[in-house]
Amino acid sequence: MNEDRTLYLNEKKGLIVRRDGPSLWITEKGIAGRRIPARFINMVYIIGNIKMDAGVITLFSEQNTPISFMNSKGETIGIVMPYNHNQLNYYEDQKRILQNERYIERFKEWAVSMRREAQLFVLKKVAFDKASTFISKGFRES
């Protein structure tokens, strides 16, 4: 059951992300922990240096959820894509994506467009007048 939600994990002192069964357990110094079921997330952006278990990455791989690692400038520096050799109908496509520069570039472009879409969605909720300007004149990251 994928709810088409994106999880953004930003670098913050005292932030720890752990796997707790089929969920994430996120703790922050001085704040009560939060549980987030992985099945509700369809894309993950990890920005900066986050303290987390390797189990978090495998949890999203098991859920077929891609992860994008970004530096503090918002530039993608790495991508984790689920890979399952047991699903024969996906095996060749996944293998091709991991070996072909053209497909890697297409995935990066898709990830950037999804990030822009999420950013515009947030802007519409927070400052509709600025969002309308971006929608009419275009939205480009520098």
**CA 79/CA 73 separation, integer angstroms:** 16
* Joined tokens for residue 137: 């004149």
pTM above 0.75, yes or no: no
**119 and 62 in one domain?**
no
**62 and 24 in one domain?**
yes
* Joined tokens for residue 55: 């189990």
Tens-digit pLDDT profile for residues 91-127: 666 676 677 787 788 878 888 888 877 777 776 766 7
**68 and 24 in one domain?**
yes
Which of 82, 98, 120 is the C-terminal boundary of a domain? Answer: 82
What angle do the packed helices 101-126 and 88-99 form, to 10 degrees?
A: 90
Sort strands 31-37 and 41-47 into parallel, antiparallel or unpaired. unpaired
3-class secondary-structure state, position 36: strand
Tens-digit pLDDT profile for residues 50-64: 899 999 999 998 888
**70 and 8 in one domain?**
yes
Laid out side by side, the sheet with 67-70 consists of 5-10, 41-47, 67-70, 76-80
Which of 48, 65, 82 is the C-terminal boundary of a domain? Answer: 82
